[in-house]
């Protein structure tokens, strides 16, 4: 792979999130030896965006279209890693994954579409293993803070207890920001497919739908408010839990069941104690604004809104003998855009520069087994995330 022209090509650079990724790479790695390029369907639009954002003209522009398989093949052959923000991936991503799996090119996306990920595992896992391509889904807010948060907490649980936690509860303690228009579009596309293919509903309900060779113990449903005495707070359903829990279980399987075959994991959002906390939990549980008034793809918050956003997630682990450990992950920008654009950029660079094929061979992967502590170190150093053990 060392002969490839680029470390990373950002496909979808003229879209809302793609622009943020390009801006981050330009600002963070200007003057470095990182070799990256912007890609999209229109050369004129790529030039306009590059100039508008003040990105150096030395950054190359690559024209490729998801409907033109030859242009995709030409693009992936030039780079170590493809970073794509072009979703919904079930509509626009399959041919790009196929091209990467064929060429042995690593791949990262922002996918939160479990039915399509189920498809890619079935269709491309063996092909990616053969070519060496690391196909890594969900490298944004879904699911890096959660997947790596569990990985980090379990790493320290093994050091503290001599064994992993048999149960971890992911709890969003605080969050300010918006979900992206791409997330909403992906949700709507998934629901449309589920209406046409009944088996998709089963995949969406099954926490082990991304581990086709393994099905673990029953998992907490997470769809009703509950009061958690040890946290002195009500907890409400968390909208990203459906995809995050599946990724965590796939990570566990890909890590050789490092968390155990009896591992239990769920995610919810803390809403506080007392009547006010209960009312908020019930409000969150009944909120269906994602399906009624979704943001449009390409739309997003202002720079001020992105800069003032944040998130704070804890991971409450229970050891085999009743011991407890609490890990925490925070991000310094809004989750859906500001932090996500940094996370996926660092994921791509981690694959390109830090993780060799000897260390991690090809396949359809999740962030924790693909990059683990190397990515945690990058995110802490460059992307405004923190990982800590609180107790």
Higher pLDDT, 291 or 46: 46
CA angle 59, 361, 143 (to 5 degrees): 70
Residue 374, pLDDT score: 98
Q: To 10 degrees, the CA torsion angle through 110, 303, 311, 233? A: -120
Mean pLDDT value of segment 146-168: 97
88 CA to centre of own chain:
14
In this structure, of 179-193, 300-314, 336-350, the range with the lowest mean pLDDT score is 179-193
For residue 17, whether the previous peptide bond is cis, meaning omega lies within 30 degrees of 0, is: no
Q: Is 341 strand, coil or helix?
A: helix
Phi, psi (rounded to 5 degrees) for 162: 85, 5
* Residues near 203 by beta carbon (within 8 Å), at least 6 away in sequence: 114, 115, 118, 209
Q: What is the pTM of this model?
A: 0.95
Residue 371 has pLDDT above 70, yes or no: yes
Q: CA-CA distance, 310 to 312, in Å (whole number)? A: 7
Mean pLDDT value of segment 39-64: 97
Digit-coded pLDDT (tens) for 187-218: 788 888 888 888 888 888 999 999 999 999 99
Digit-coded pLDDT (tens) for 95-127: 999 999 999 999 999 999 999 999 999 999 999
| Residue 268 · residue 295 · CB < 8 Å | no
Digit-coded pLDDT (tens) for 272-292: 999 999 999 999 999 866 555
The percentage of residues in the chain with a pLDDT greater than 90, rounded to a whole number, is 84
Give the model's confidence band at 246: pLDDT under 50 very low, under 70 low, under 90 confident, else very high. Answer: very high
Q: In the numeric block, which tokens belong to residue 178?
A: 């918006």
Give the model's confidence band at 270: pLDDT under 50 very low, under 70 low, under 90 confident, else very high. Answer: very high
Output DSSP code: residue 335: I
């Amino acid at each position: 792979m060392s002969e490839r022209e680029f470390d990373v090509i950002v496909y979808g650079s003229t879209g809302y999130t793609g622009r943020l990724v390009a801006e981050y790479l330009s600002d963070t790695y200007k003057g470095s030896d990182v070799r990256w390029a912007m890609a999209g369907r229109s050369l004129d639009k790529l030039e306009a965006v590059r100039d508008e954002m003040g990105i150096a003209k030395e950054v190359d522009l690559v024209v490729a279209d998801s409907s033109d398989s030859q242009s995709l093949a030409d693009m992936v052959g030039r780079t170590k890693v493809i970073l794509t923000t072009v979703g919904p991936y079930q509509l626009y991503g399959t041919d790009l994954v196929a091209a990467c799996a064929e060429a042995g090119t690593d791949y990262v996306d922002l996918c939160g579409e479990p039915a399509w990920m189920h498809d890619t595992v079935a269709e491309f896992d063996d092909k990616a293993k053969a070519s060496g391509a690391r196909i890594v889904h969900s490298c944004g807010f879904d699911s890096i803070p959660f997947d790596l948060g569990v990985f980090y907490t379990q790493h320290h649980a093994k050091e503290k207890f001599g064994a992993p936690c048999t149960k971890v509860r992911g709890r969003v303690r605080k969050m300010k920001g918006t979900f992206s228009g791409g997330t909403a579009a992906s949700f709507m596309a998934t629901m449309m497919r589920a209406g046409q293919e009944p088996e998709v509903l089963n995949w969406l309900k099954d926490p082990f739908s991304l581990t086709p060779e393994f099905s673990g113990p029953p998992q907490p449903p997470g769809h009703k408010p509950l009061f958690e005495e040890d946290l002195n707070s009500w907890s409400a359903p968390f909208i990203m839990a459906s995809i995050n829990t599946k990724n965590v279980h796939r990570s566990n399987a890909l890590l050789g069941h490092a968390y155990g075959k009896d591992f239990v994991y769920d995610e919810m959002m803390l809403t506080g104690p007392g009547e006010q906390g209960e009312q908020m939990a019930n409000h969150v549980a009944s909120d269906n604004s994602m399906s009624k008034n979704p943001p449009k793809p390409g739309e997003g918050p202002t720079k001020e809104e992105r800069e003032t956003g944040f998130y704070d997630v804890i991971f409450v682990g229970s050891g085999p003998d009743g011991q407890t450990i609490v890990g925490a992950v925070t991000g310094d920008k809004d989750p859906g855009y500001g932090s996500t654009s940094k996370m996926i950029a660092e994921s791509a660079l981690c694959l390109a520069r830090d993780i060799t094929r000897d260390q991690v061979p090809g396949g359809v992967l999740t962030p924790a087994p693909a990059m683990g502590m190397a990515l945690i170190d990058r995110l802490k150093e460059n992307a405004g995330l923190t990982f800590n053990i609180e107790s």
